[in-house]
């Protein structure tokens, strides 16, 4: 019996094999995960569902130019509160007249101390609303025994309070920029010694009258005492003689000239004077 020829394995051409491989690969990529949609990689500019995108993504979707971040409407800043004079409490601040735009603040170290610090403040400077220091701080003297809220003749204490400054004077010519009414008189001459033996000569070369128990606007030499002689008077800002006073406030001669050149009657200047504890009330 003739032997049938052996069957050789089926060999497909290389081209056909390549086509089959491509079909299989395509099926894995598309049909191998049936019902699943694959997307490209998420970037920082592609918001994922349920996760907020970067600033500007919503605006871009709504039609804003790509890459531009919308600017939120500006909120006006609140107006700054007026700057108060440091160290003054509500009672002292309330005593300053509303018309005053200059305040010479003399703050004593203690109720029984004769040493103080003086600063001239002005209202509504170029930096905005409020009180701003214009001159000082300067060292100053006050009365030998310190301060009192009820001054009496001979108690050797300076009166605590807020008083207007309406007149000046002295034995020497005032500075060229002085604006307060000025009484130039030889009667401002003084002799003798202070409490520490220091000479008093020249102490009244320049003075500014403090309107305590006096007629405002008159010469510092005026002796009118509306509260009575027993309540004292003649309380001035004058040239320092190197020691405590009987009731006045004193600063050095060069500081007195600065003060006289700065005080302006149109600014309704006042002096705020007392120990730190009293002024802080």
Instruction: Indicate the CATH number for domain 90-279.
Output: 2.40.440.10
Q: Nearest Cα to 212, choosing from 236, 230, 188?
A: 236
260 near 168, Cβ under 8 Å? yes
pTM over 0.75: no
Residue 73's pLDDT is 62
Q: Nearest Cα to 234, choosing from 203, 260, 277?
A: 203
Alpha helices in the chain (DSSP H): 14-26, 57-61, 90-95, 253-262, 276-279
Residue 70's pLDDT is 61
Residue 66's pLDDT is 53
Length of the chain: 281
Residue 22's pLDDT is 36
Run of H or E residues at 244: none
- Biggest CA–CA distance in the chain, Å, is 167
- d(C-alpha 219, C-alpha 168), whole Å: 7
DSSP at 27: I
What is the block-wise mean pLDDT of the chain (281 residues), using blocks of 10 residues?
43 39 37 37 39 43 52 59 90 97 98 98 76 97 98 98 98 97 98 97 98 98 98 98 98 98 98 98 97
């Amino acid at each position: 019996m003739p032997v049938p020829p052996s069957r050789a394995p089926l060999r497909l051409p290389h081209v056909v094999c390549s086509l089959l491989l491509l079909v299989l690969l395509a099926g894995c990529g598309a049909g191998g995960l049936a019902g699943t949609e694959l997307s490209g990689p998420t970037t920082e500019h592609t918001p994922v569902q349920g996760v907020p995108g970067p600033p500007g993504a919503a605006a871009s979707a709504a039609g804003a130019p790509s890459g531009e971040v919308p600017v939120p409407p500006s909120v006006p800043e609140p107006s700054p509160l007026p700057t108060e004079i440091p160290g003054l409490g509500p009672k002292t601040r309330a005593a300053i007249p509303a018309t005053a735009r200059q305040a010479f603040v003399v703050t004593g170290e203690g109720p029984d101390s004769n040493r103080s610090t003086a600063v001239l403040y002005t209202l509504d400077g170029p930096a905005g609303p409020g009180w701003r220091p214009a001159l000082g701080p300067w060292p100053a003297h006050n009365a030998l025994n310190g301060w009192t809220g009820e001054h009496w003749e001979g108690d050797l204490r300076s009166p605590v309070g807020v008083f207007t400054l309406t007149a000046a004077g002295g034995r020497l010519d005032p500075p060229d920029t002085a604006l307060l009414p000025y009484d130039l008189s030889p009667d401002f001459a003084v002799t003798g010694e202070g409490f520490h033996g220091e000479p008093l000569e020249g102490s009244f070369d320049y003075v500014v009258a403090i309107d305590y128990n006096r007629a405002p606007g008159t010469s510092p030499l005026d002796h009118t005492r509306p509260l009575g002689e027993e309540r004292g008077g003649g309380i001035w800002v004058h040239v320092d003689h190197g020691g405590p006073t009987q009731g006045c406030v004193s600063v050095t001669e060069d500081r007195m000239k600065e003060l006289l050149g700065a005080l302006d009657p149109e600014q309704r200047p006042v002096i705020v004077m007392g120990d730190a504890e009293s002024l802080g009330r």
